[in-house]
Amino acid sequence: MMRKIVGCVLVLALVTFAVVGLAASSYSDGAGDNNAAPDITSVTVSESPEGVLTVVVGLGNYQALSGTSLLDLWFDLDNNQQTGDEGDEALVEYSANGIVDLYRWNGRDMVRRPATGMAAAFAAGTLTFTGPKTAFDNATSFGVLVVGQRRQKIFDDEFIAADWAPDIGRSPYVAPGALSFSDPAGDMDAAPDVTSVEVSDTKAGTITFAVTTQNVITLARDTRVDVWFDLDRRTSNGAETIVGLENGRAYALRWDPFEEEFIPVRKSGVRGRSAAGGAARSNPRRDGVRLRVERAATCPGA
């Protein structure tokens, strides 16, 4: 299944950690590296008498597309949001490396199909895509959704920021006239900009993480801060435990090798808050996130 939306914005700190006595440490992260998504400002859809479909997407913040960015063109070919992948039967995906991929709904999943006759190019902040209408069932009317996304490689590709055009639903195209619509500038997602992290523990076995976010006072809805633990210190295995805060709720997850996914830890002993006052060593007090982890409950073997 393809993912057209970002369920949450991730701020990640991968921590290789083993507690020996009492300790404290801190590190900084560069400001302004918080992965702003491509900011869509305009979309135009048109077709030629020869049956060539053209989609032009304008961006407000990138003249050249970042190497971690994607632009997705979603098509609701039957104008029915109850069918397809969350309503859509076709997807054209344009990567920053210039590759164009076509996916079609087969009744169960989006599967890749040959992108025969399709071409796309990004220049001066504008994506121009062309393709034969036959690849889109020669539909005379359909809905269009354009999504600009940024991703980060963790275990799999995680989408960490996005902009939707339109923000809700699909924009209707009816042949042969052109469809043009604008999208507000500056409405793209940007992750909380982590500038410092402090880690400390106590005699009682509580590990505290103070994460300073330069651009966020309190976490917005569907935005979260995660701390990933590499407990066995083998980077090839990745992290075994995650603790985080989302929508005011602290949580802990652990890797289940049988399920091959992270599952919630019950009675984890994790507490957290997002408010002004996250401390950054040698820096003024700024807004941030604090997570308190009961070591024995969430980090067995640490």
Last residue of a domain, one of 155, 182, 209: 182
Q: Which residue has the higher pLDDT, 7 or 216?
A: 216
CA angle 251, 262, 227 (to 5 degrees): 50
Question: What's the CATH number where 58 sits?
Answer: 2.60.40
Per-residue model confidence (pLDDT) at position 41: 96
**Could you tell me if residue 1 is inside a domain?**
no
Q: Are residues 175 and 235 in the same domain?
A: no
Check whether 4 has a pLDDT greater than 90. Answer: no
Q: Are residues 259 and 212 in the same domain?
A: yes
Q: Are residues 45 and 175 in the same domain?
A: yes
Q: Kindly state the helix (H) or strand (E) to which residue 296 belongs, with its residue range.
A: helix 295-298
Last residue of a domain, one of 182, 214, 229: 182
Q: Are residues 58 and 154 in the same domain?
A: yes
Query: pLDDT by residue (tens digit) across 190-225?
Result: 667 777 888 887 777 778 888 887 777 777 766 778
Query: pLDDT by residue (tens digit) across 242-287?
Result: 888 887 788 888 888 888 888 888 777 787 777 653 333 223 334 4
Check whether 38 has a pLDDT greater than 50. Answer: yes
CA angle 6, 9, 12 (to 5 degrees): 135
Q: Are residues 74 and 140 in the same domain?
A: yes
Check whether 15 has a pLDDT greater than 80. Answer: no
Per-residue model confidence (pLDDT) at position 76: 98
**Could you tell me if residue 104 is inside a domain?**
yes
Q: Are residues 176 and 234 in the same domain?
A: no
Q: Are residues 206 and 101 in the same domain?
A: no
Query: pLDDT by residue (tens digit) across 144-176?
Result: 999 999 876 654 556 677 899 998 999 999 998
Please state, in angstroms and as integers, the Cα–Cα distance from residue 284 to each residue in 177, 195, 201, 209, following that order. Answer: 56, 12, 22, 17
Q: Which pLDDT band holds residue 227 (cuts at 50, 70, 90)?
A: confident
Q: Are residues 64 and 30 in the same domain?
A: no
Q: Kindly state the helix (H) or strand (E) to which residue 298 belongs, with its residue range.
A: helix 295-298
Q: Which residue has the higher pLDDT, 299 or 44?
A: 44
Q: Are residues 70 and 133 in the same domain?
A: yes
Q: Which residue has the higher pLDDT, 233 or 255?
A: 255
Range of the domain at 275: 9-34+191-298
Q: Are residues 164 and 61 in the same domain?
A: yes
Quick one: how far is CA 200 from the chain centroid? 29
**Could you tell me if residue 55 is inside a domain?**
yes
Check whether 5 has a pLDDT greater than 60. Answer: no
What is the chain's mean pLDDT, rounded?
79
Query: pLDDT by residue (tens digit) across 85-122?
Result: 999 999 999 999 999 999 999 999 999 999 999 999 99
Per-residue model confidence (pLDDT) at position 40: 95
Per-residue model confidence (pLDDT) at position 266: 79
Spell out the residues 6+ positions from residue 137 whose beta carbon is closer than 8 angstroms to its own: 77, 89
Domain count, the chain: 2
Q: How far apart are CA 82 and CA 85, in angstroms?
A: 9
**Could you tell me if residue 4 is inside a domain?**
no
Q: Are residues 216 and 84 in the same domain?
A: no
**Could you tell me if residue 3 is inside a domain?**
no
Last residue of a domain, one of 182, 213, 241: 182
Q: Are residues 91 and 122 in the same domain?
A: yes
